[in-house]
Structure 1
Amino acid sequence: MDKLLQSVKKILQDKPLGSIQWFVLNQSWLGKTYGEMAEGSGYCNNYIKEVGSELWQDLSIALGKRVTKKNLHLALEKHLQDEIDAHENQIRPEFGEESSLEMPSPDFFSASKIEFPSGPVALASPLYINRPPLEELVCNEILHPGCLIRIKAPRKMGKSSLLNRMIAYAKEQDYQIVYLDFQEADQEVFASLDKFLRWFCVNVSRQLNLLPCLDDFWDTEMGSKVSCKIYFEAYLLQYIHNSPVVLALNEVHRVFEHPNIAQDFLPMLRFWHEQAKQDQTWQKLRMVVVHTTEIYIPLKLNQSPFNVGITITLPPFTLKQVENLALLYGLDCAEDSEEAKRFASLQAMVGGHPYLVNLAFYHLCQGEMRLEMLLETASTPVGIYGQHLRELLTLLQAQPELMSAMEQVIATDEEVELNAIAAYKLESMGLVQLNGNQASAMCELYRLYFSQQFGKQNNAKRLFEKL
């Protein structure tokens, strides 16, 4: 334990720990759970977990490798052994070489080994940034019988990365997992409610390794929703015995585009959640609904699944989180207080958007350009965001009503009131941030780029009219 304390003091020499942090570290080393720590300290369980989460992230940044409560022993013991090996190498240089050997950088600091930012952050990746207390909230909530969790954020904000970590946690509890991504559904699946619910039930059955037998439970006279409920209640939930099942529904906003489906499917999910309050069978089902925007299909308050359960809205990265991520990418300048201030300019440009920040750091750690040049060219076709911006422009051009709405947003520095559906669709694309129906550009990058594009289009239009 003495070696542990001395080692951690060295590792976190720029960030001394307080008494509660030392307490959590000590108890974690001894194998205590957060609940046991809370009972022994008088602090609430959630606070202890938050302290632990921040502590593991600080250690991860300092060590250059992912540290968790579970791998604490392994990570610190390896660090101590590495220090011993490095010391011995300096004392006994091989083949008569100088003793001032450089320690190799951690694997993920190697620019050639860092993957291009695309899709969810891998579970084993050290580049995942916690956004306390969100991770703790979803992992705690999934333990509650019959829970309903909603994860909401625009595209590329980290929804799937958070969902995957919650699923990994549920697997550790020996829960069964059913994961459905509605983007995988063929367009014809949305032709009718009956077709959609049958597709839904078949997919759930397959993932639970059960033979689909819908015809044994489906009754056209009772209707599709009741048939679906009976299929879950009398078949699927009976065969999973006492093991809870997590039903993770990703890209649910696709259902919003089909009012004939959404107006029945979404209230059905709420009804199942409420059934769990009085029926032990339904308590086995834990539901997670992930989507990019608020629902824009009118539903009665007592039918919407989005005003029950717990809602997790993913925020952009704070400046501190941006600086922490820079360190994880091996950008040494982030360790210098003066140099770190430069990342405030990046934060202002992209609004802390996780994907845009990761893309910037990927290019910086490749040594392709300096931050000043990256920011100067950010909104231009030759900048690192060129392809991303062109993709967004193409999406807008395919929907003139959204193009018109975005023009209204860009035309002023004030918030603009938009049609509800246009506002929500722009939010789902990550282009605007909403305050009710009042919209403003999500970040300076989008404001600059679309201002330039709309200016070009208007000039071309005026020139054409003159001709």
Structure 2
Amino acid sequence: MDKFIESVKKILQDKPLGSIQWFVLYQSCLGKTYGEIAEASGYGNNYIKEIGSELWQDLSIALGIRVTKKNLHLALNKQLQYEIDNQENQIEQKFSEESSLEIVSPNFFSASKIEFPSGPVALDSPFYINRPSLEELVCNEILHPGCLIRLKAPRKMGKSSLLNRMIAYAREQAYQIVYLDFQEADQDVFASLDKFLRWFCINVSRQLNLLPCIDDFWDVEMGSKVSCKIYFEAYLLQYIDDSPVVLALNEVHRIFEHPNIAQDFLPMLRFWHEQAKQNQIWQKLRMVVVHTTEIYIPLKLNQSPFNVGITITLPPFTFKEVQNLALRYGLNWSRNLEGIKRLVPLQAMIGGHPYLVNLAFYHLCQGEMTLEVLLETASTPVGIYGQHLRELLTLLQAEPELMSAMEQVIATDKKVELDAIAAYKLESMGLVQLNGNQASAMCELYRLYFSQQFVKQNSANASREFFS
């Protein structure tokens, strides 16, 4: 029965059913008559018939065959068989496509020398999966005077690895590089806009090998933003040579936590980008903004730097990229059809998340366990993701409102409408994927682990209440 329901969800995914429609469908699958369904539901017999008639019509249009209450079982069985055959065909097709892949296995050193996946992938690493559509787009865009590029993705999705390759490309063009990671800033830096912009200007100056001389350009009467602009325009961009400057700002979401800073700093970046259209000196500046989530600080549309320039959103690995990475780790069993079939449940479990995929292949290439054992223990404390999952749980426990929001997400298979800030914070942690403010679990691993944790938590709470 569950398979039939899931099949109907897929068939009518563009036309979601209401509760009464699901009830009619479920009861019809059980062989109940319209009269019995009406009596059980409390609705009139004619209304139930009308609901059923519309439902069969929708299914008929979606499937391209005539569906009635009488042939419902037969029609859904045919659809299920079609889905099974189609999945097998896709696996066969993947195999035929992947069989031509060149094995890029790091056979020049032993598995014991493969570094544990942590942080950005080194520029010369064989484990970096090149995605030409992203790399070429970023590298081409950085050549445009006054450009503004935004790299966006949850934690551990590869933003820094892509940023490092863009920076390496810019260096090849003889561009000067300024790299600021806002996680390095002390909390005191965010005390006021003036203090923050001074810290910002001093760091940029030193990376450009220029002596900071903030006080010569800072004017309290004009304000911090104007002073900062003049400092860049009349000093930094004026006294460097003619080569462009790439200003790479990493972990910009840290600023979102300080509305007093974000509401002025972010519009300032947009203004600088727009200045390049009319002022040649600003064309030297190429900005790259890297962050984990959408901004949740209210900004007017004409102030936000996030609706100008170009946005690069990093997606999870495709199945093809997962197989390619497996081969690079020397897991040559993934080259044949049976190996590809074994990778399918791994992809289903972790959804192509780059860090989780690399971690799986690292442990598999060490010969520590089989793929089957890895999957069986994945969501448990003793599995390879145990530490990663505990870190995420600790982050949630530190903010009860996020814990509550995540519990809502895990409680249902449907997308859940969340408070905007909670939704964005969970997305930045990589726990959910968003459609607007509607959230669903990022992958099956997180759904399984947190559902287990919430059951334990609720049981513990119930015990305390019982004995109190």
1:56-455 aligned at under 5 Å gives the runs: 62=102, 64=104, 106-108=107-109, 110-455=110-455
Say which SS state the counterpart of residue 342 (structure 1) adopts.
Answer: helix
Say which SS state the counterpart of residue 206 (structure 2) adopts.
Answer: helix
Question: How many angstroms does 1:431 deviate by?
Answer: 0.2
**Identity fraction in percent:** 85
Judged with a 3 Å threshold, the aligned counterparts in structure 2 of structure 1 residues 63 and 412 are, in CA distance, closer, same or farther, namely closer
Question: How many angstroms does 1:336 deviate by?
Answer: 1.0
Aligned to 1:49: none
Distance 2:436 2:268 in 1: 26
Judged with a 3 Å threshold, the aligned counterparts in structure 2 of structure 1 residues 124 and 60 are, in CA distance, closer, same or farther, namely farther
Cα deviation code 1:194-217 (max 9, x no counterpart): 000000000000000000000000
Distance 1:288 1:199 in 2: 19
Distance 2:312 2:136 in 1: 11
Equivalent pair of 2:182/2:252 in contact (CA under 8 Å):
yes
Say which SS state the counterpart of residue 212 (structure 1) adopts.
Answer: coil
Equivalent pair of 1:410/1:441 in contact (CA under 8 Å):
yes
Question: How many angstroms does 1:464 deviate by?
Answer: 1.3
Distance 2:408 2:131 in 1: 32
Amino acid at match of 1:176: Q
Moved over 6 A (4+): 58-61
TM-score when scaled to structure 1?
0.78
Question: How many angstroms does 1:454 deviate by?
Answer: 0.3
Say which SS state the counterpart of residue 161 (structure 1) adopts.
Answer: helix
Equivalent pair of 1:61/1:328 in contact (CA under 8 Å):
no
Question: How many angstroms does 1:64 deviate by?
Answer: 2.7
Aligned to 1:11: none
Say which SS state the counterpart of residue 440 (structure 2) adopts.
Answer: strand
Question: How many angstroms does 1:409 deviate by?
Answer: 0.3
Distance 1:322 1:114 in 2: 18
Question: How many angstroms does 1:465 deviate by?
Answer: 1.1
Distance 2:460 2:222 in 1: 59
Distance 2:390 2:202 in 1: 38
Amino acid at match of 1:120: P
Distance 1:328 1:234 in 2: 50
Cα deviation code 1:359-398 (max 9, x no counterpart): 0000000000000000000000000000000000000000
1:29-48 aligned at under 5 Å gives the runs: none
Equivalent pair of 2:103/2:327 in contact (CA under 8 Å):
no
Distance 2:116 2:376 in 1: 22
Distance 2:414 2:153 in 1: 23
Judged with a 3 Å threshold, the aligned counterparts in structure 2 of structure 1 residues 354 and 213 are, in CA distance, closer, same or farther, namely same
Question: How many angstroms does 1:62 deviate by?
Answer: 2.2
Question: How many angstroms does 1:60 deviate by?
Answer: 12
CA RMSD of aligned residues (A): 1.4
**How many correspondences in the alignment?**
370
TM-score when scaled to structure 2?
0.78
Cα deviation code 1:190-237 (max 9, x no counterpart): 000000000000000000000000000000000000000000000000
Amino acid at match of 2:178: V
